[in-house]
Amino acid sequence: MKQIYLDHNATSPVRKEVLEAMMPYFSDEYGNASSVHSKGQAALKAVEASREVIGHVIGTEPVDIVFTSGGTESDNFAIKGAALANLEKGRHVITSKTEHSAVLDTCKFLEEQLGFEVTYLPVDKYGVVDLDMFKDSIRKDTVLASIMFANNETGTIQPIKEIAKIAKKQGVYFHIDAVQALGKEHIDVEELGIDLCSFSGHKLNGPKGVGALYVKKGVKIIPYQNGGHHERKRRAGTLNVPGIVGFAKALEIAARDMQKVNKHLKKLTKKLLDGLQSDLKEVYLNGHPKSRLSNTLNISFRYIEGESMLLNFDLKGILASTGSACTSGSLEPSHVLTAMGVPPDISQGSIRFSFGYENTEEDVDYCLAEIPPIVKRLRDMSPLC
């Protein structure tokens, strides 16, 4: 049976060109980028060329990029690192209720282990943070604010530039989790005016287990791991050379094709939403109608449960998700949809379809043929209907 993968916000397939670029660094060019001999230097050269590519795409100098093991580590590094380096200023952090668990749980860690106070900002019905509320939440002892660029469950994009302006004026460090946005939206860290920015390779058709943190020059942050002198002593550990090379290659291609791919994905997501809404009653879009990632479509099918839909979709080869990969599996309603005020009887029936460049119109046609009968059948069996 054919499979239609619509879960790119969980992870995405590595492109052929990316894999090809990585291969030599597993075999012939296996050197440790810290070694002084020629094999080490060949690996180092590949790492620095990759850093250059990434720096160019995000609008900064290569030295401001620290390679990590992925988005989760970058979020931990940014938040704990900046919080611990600036204890003399205070112990208050601002974030939002719809952040990824890598940010939320790191903030909880600061509260529980280090006596920090954290403000979890509410969002509007589209999932957007209010600028005045953000401004009002800043205190004398606020060290850092962390708000995501684009939400992984709904695709909603935050007014990052405006938030950054406020944070800068008040002397608060500003971190953004741009894991979902990288390669999908134009990101220029200097233009945005941010201090710290998290990235990951595997959400943009790169490899898993590699990511980066942008650290603006002059930002006080303590190293995340101690050990060797790697990454200018900001993150110890032997560099994942094939991963770094693959990450840079994936980003280079994503940035090159961004406009074309976004146009394609907008068309697909619109076609799927329109088709489902014309065939089925009580189908709602979650997230911002316009200020949203082109690839992400979070839809609620009222009266039925996301989990049972997913299993039935899977039997037909349609692979989607009920939200974030980290919280699905639990039957708790999504914290993101709850924060947006979506009532439980609607949020429980939500499905996230997240597309990738390789999806086609035929994929959507197939979904439009297979999904409505499943939804109708489940609704017939639902006691809620």
Ligand X SMILES: *Cc1c(COP(=O)(O)O)cnc(C)c1O
Side-chain-side CA neighbours of 348 within 13 Å: the count stands at 12
Per-residue binding string, ligand X, 211-250, x by CB under 6 A, is: x---------------------------------------
64 is a site residue for ligand X (CB under 6 A): no
By the 10 Å C-beta count (0-12 exposed, 13-18 middle, 19+ buried), 27 is classed as exposed
Q: Are 175 and 146 in contact (CB under 8 A)?
A: yes
Rounded to 5 degrees, φ, ψ at 211 are -160, -165
Query: Could you say which of 42, 43, 46, 102 contacts ligand X (CB under 6 A)?
Result: 102
Question: How far, in Å, are 98, 100, 279, 342, 354 from residue 127 at the CA level?
Answer: 7, 13, 27, 10, 17
How many residues in the shown chain lie near ligand X by CB under 6 A?
Answer: 15
- The smaller minimum CB distance to ligand X, of residues 152 and 327, is found at 152
148 is a site residue for ligand X (CB under 6 A): yes
**CB 199, min distance to ligand X, A:** 9
14 is a site residue for ligand X (CB under 6 A): no
Where does this chain touch ligand X (CB under 6 A) — which range of 110-118, 197-205, 313-321, 366-374?
Answer: 197-205
Q: Return the closest-CA partner of residue 49 out of 241, 178, 214.
A: 241
For 225, residues 6+ apart whose C-beta sits below 8 A from its C-beta are 235, 236, 237
Rounded to 5 degrees, φ, ψ at 219 are -70, 130
177 is a site residue for ligand X (CB under 6 A): yes
142-148 sheet: strands from edge to edge: 65-68, 211-215, 196-200, 173-177, 142-148, 92-96, 117-121
Where does this chain touch ligand X (CB under 6 A) — which range of 184-192, 199-207, 261-269, 364-372?
Answer: 199-207
207 is a site residue for ligand X (CB under 6 A): no
**CB 50, min distance to ligand X, A:** 17
98 is a site residue for ligand X (CB under 6 A): no
Where does this chain touch ligand X (CB under 6 A) — which range of 67-75, 219-227, 233-241, 309-317?
Answer: 67-75
Query: Could you say which of 12, 50, 154, 180 contacts ligand X (CB under 6 A)?
Result: 180
What's the CA dihedral at 311, 312, 315, 320 to 10 degrees?
Answer: -60
- The smaller minimum CB distance to ligand X, of residues 22 and 148, is found at 148
**CB 91, min distance to ligand X, A:** 24
CA distance linking residue 336 with residue 327, whole number of Å: 11
Per-residue binding string, ligand X, 107-146, x by CB under 6 A, is: ----------------------------------------
- The smaller minimum CB distance to ligand X, of residues 70 and 183, is found at 70
| Catalytic (active site) residue 326 | yes
200 is a site residue for ligand X (CB under 6 A): yes
Residue tagged active-site, from 107, 197, 326, 385: 326
Catalytic amino acids? 326
Give the binding site for ligand X (CB under 6 A): 70-72, 75, 100, 102, 148, 152, 177, 179-180, 200, 202-203, 211
